[in-house]
Amino acid sequence: MTLNPQKPRIFISADHGLAVVYFLQSDVVPTLLEAGAEVIVLSDDSLTEQLARRFGRPGLTFEGLRLAQARAYEQQHDREWQWWLGFLRRVGSSRRINTGATDSYIRQVMVESGNRRRLFLPLALLAVLALRHSRAARRALRRAQLRYTPGLYTDLFERYHPDLVVAATPGWRLDRYLLREAAARGIRTAAVVVGWDNPSSYSLPGAPVDWITCWSAIQKDELVLGSDWPPERVHIGGIPSYDGYFRRTWLIPREAYFRLHGLDPQRKLIAYACSFVSFSPNYQNVEALARLVASDALAEPAQLLVRLHPNHFWNVKLFRDEADKIRRLARELPHVHVVEPVPLGGELGHYSGEDMPEKASMMAHADVFTTVYSTMVVETAIHDRPIVSVCLDVPGGWNVPRKYSLPLSKIGNWPTHLRFRRSGAGKVALNERELAAALNHYLQNPQADHENRQRFIREEVTFTDGTAGRRTGEFLFSLLQRPAGGWE
């Protein structure tokens, strides 16, 4: 691409499949281009040509994000110090917000850490106590991170001279190295919140970031109260990734969708999206649902469609084995089917925009949608379908030494989970009796909790008219008129 020296240039870091959806499958990047910016998207090195073929247009360039080099620096340069900084950053938010999610991460680290790290855990827990009670301590931690700025992107900065660098997180992931280098050069920085639970699960910024845009007033409070963001630097823009749901852009007609998966059009569809795999097996939930549909024990003849989780495809034997058990269950029992998320490729994993039509149609055509407090409870509420969070415990969890397990009945007070419960947008089942009752209630009363679902999505995503991408793009473009700095 021939660069226009008169146009402002914006770097966008899309280091995750969800970030690709957020920026490229919404109106965010088109709005920036139409406003007169040139956009350079940095993503997985092996996918730049693929992304360029699919999304390329005048003014848009793709470059590699050098994730392998960033990971090598993380692993080889003061590895333990960087790890502890990351741990403290993740769990060090102020006690003024609900810390349920990060408290569980602390317990996970206590169980899964090797003997060497365990020696330092008492000191780390004292540091966490200080961070949660002291804004000065949190500021000191943010500053301490800056010594790890490797300069991996020097040639890109010198080639493009960007006016603004935008990332899918405020440095919670490897994007921290890009953001730190931008800040060191005096370049404006901004972040977006891609995930529903991100502000309450990942806490303090990993780099100096000037502005951030989030989904809702709820997330803004989490950022301001938990991570000391100045309120005037937090923008509420909604969630661009969901504009396609509101516009029904991705929807496959019901008949075609049922045909795609070999579903029976005469049977009600119960969908289950696996979730929370890192903390608990999902098989017990799937098995309970499968027994109910296979034995025709529900109020209506039904069938089950199970969506595996992206983590099922990690190189982790526990997760892969569970996926195989679910596939085997579908082969052995009638009316049980499995769908697998489609990978984008490279390091972006199975969190991908490649199957947005699949996700949208699964939710829209489900007579009852079930999961474990997944973000898909928000997405399904957009489609106004009944929702049940299935939280059946399994004794011992994963039952593997040094593998932390958390009973699903104990996670209801995590920030996003608690909001779902209080909203009345769906039901929670803690045992098979409650599960059957919840399914039967919604099968017989499909419009039940409609008003609660509508209120829930207004509170969680703010803009329900498909304009979040345009609003976010306009906000990011407006930052070109503002000075860099102000992180502290």
Distances (CA, A) of 321 to 74, 311, 342: 30, 12, 19
What is residue 10's predicted lDDT score, i.e. its pLDDT?
98
Same domain? For 203 and 114 the reply is: yes
What is residue 61's predicted lDDT score, i.e. its pLDDT?
98
Same domain? For 152 and 231 the reply is: yes
Does residue 152 sit within a domain?
Answer: yes
- Percent of the chain residues topping a pLDDT of 70: 97
Same domain? For 172 and 273 the reply is: no
Sign of CA dihedral 199, 200, 206, 208: positive
Question: What stretches of 261-405 adopt beta strand conformation (E)?
Answer: 268-273, 302-307, 336-339, 368-371, 387-390
Question: If you ran DSSP here, which 8-state letter would residue 368 be given?
Answer: E
Residues 6 or more apart from 47 whose CB is under 8 A from it?
344, 345, 346, 348
Whether the per-residue pLDDT at 256 is higher than 60: the answer is yes
226 near 97, Cβ under 8 Å? yes
Same domain? For 150 and 224 the reply is: yes
Nearest CA among 74, 65, 155, 52 for reference residue 346: 65
DSSP H or E segment with residue 67? helix 67-76
Determine phi and psi for 199, rounding to 5 degrees: -65, -25
116 near 108, Cβ under 8 Å? no
Same domain? For 208 and 253 the reply is: no
Same domain? For 198 and 272 the reply is: no
Same domain? For 81 and 47 the reply is: yes
pLDDT digits (tens, 9 = 90+) for 270-314: 999 999 999 999 999 999 999 999 999 999 999 999 999 999 999
Same domain? For 362 and 414 the reply is: yes
Query: For residues 453 and 383, what is the distance between their CA atoms, to the nearest angstrom?
Result: 9
Same domain? For 304 and 341 the reply is: yes
Q: Tell me the residue type at 325.
A: K
What is residue 485's predicted lDDT score, i.e. its pLDDT?
79
Does residue 121 sit within a domain?
Answer: yes
- Percent of the chain residues topping a pLDDT of 90: 94
- Helix axis angle, 450-461 relative to 415-423, nearest 10°? 150
β-strands 387-390, 9-13 pairing? unpaired
The domain total for the chain is 2
Does residue 96 sit within a domain?
Answer: yes
pLDDT band at 484 (very low <50, low <70, confident <90, very high): confident
Does residue 57 sit within a domain?
Answer: yes
Find the mean pLDDT for residues 331-346.
90
pLDDT band at 352 (very low <50, low <70, confident <90, very high): low
Same domain? For 416 and 467 the reply is: no
Does residue 71 sit within a domain?
Answer: yes
Whether the per-residue pLDDT at 425 is higher than 60: the answer is yes
Whether the per-residue pLDDT at 452 is higher than 90: the answer is yes
Find the mean pLDDT for residues 23-32.
97
Does residue 243 sit within a domain?
Answer: no
Nearest CA among 15, 26, 18 for reference residue 250: 26
What is residue 354's predicted lDDT score, i.e. its pLDDT?
66
pLDDT band at 6 (very low <50, low <70, confident <90, very high): confident
* CATH number of the domain where residue 184 is located: 3.40.50.2000
Same domain? For 428 and 311 the reply is: yes
369 near 260, Cβ under 8 Å? no
Distances (CA, A) of 153 to 11, 157, 165: 11, 6, 12
Whether the per-residue pLDDT at 350 is higher than 90: the answer is no
Whether the per-residue pLDDT at 1 is higher than 60: the answer is no
What is residue 488's predicted lDDT score, i.e. its pLDDT?
63
What is residue 351's predicted lDDT score, i.e. its pLDDT?
65
Query: For residues 33 and 310, what is the distance between their CA atoms, to the nearest angstrom?
Result: 32
Q: Tell me the residue type at 182.
A: A
355 near 341, Cβ under 8 Å? yes
Same domain? For 225 and 328 the reply is: no
In DSSP terms, which residues pair with 370 in a beta bridge? 272, 388
Q: How many helices (H) and strands (E) does the chain have?
A: 23, 13
Nearest CA among 190, 390, 196, 416 for reference residue 284: 390
Find the mean pLDDT for residues 104-121.
95
Average pLDDT, the chain: 95
pLDDT digits (tens, 9 = 90+) for 156-210: 999 999 999 999 999 999 999 999 999 999 999 999 999 999 999 999 999 999 9
Tokens standing for residue 448: 């039940």
Three-state SS sequence of 211-273:
EEEECCHHHHHHHHHHHCCCHHHEEECCCHHHHHHHHCCCCCCHHHHHHHHCCCCCCEEEEEE
What is residue 344's predicted lDDT score, i.e. its pLDDT?
73
What does the buried/exposed string (b/e) look like for 371-393 if buried means 16 or more CB atoms within 10 Å of the residue's CB? bbbbbbbbbbbbbbbbbbbbbbb
Which structural domain, as residue segments, surrounds residue 452?
A: 248-461
Question: What stretches of 4-142 adopt beta strand conformation (E)?
Answer: 9-13, 38-43, 60-64
What is residue 249's predicted lDDT score, i.e. its pLDDT?
95
Does residue 219 sit within a domain?
Answer: yes
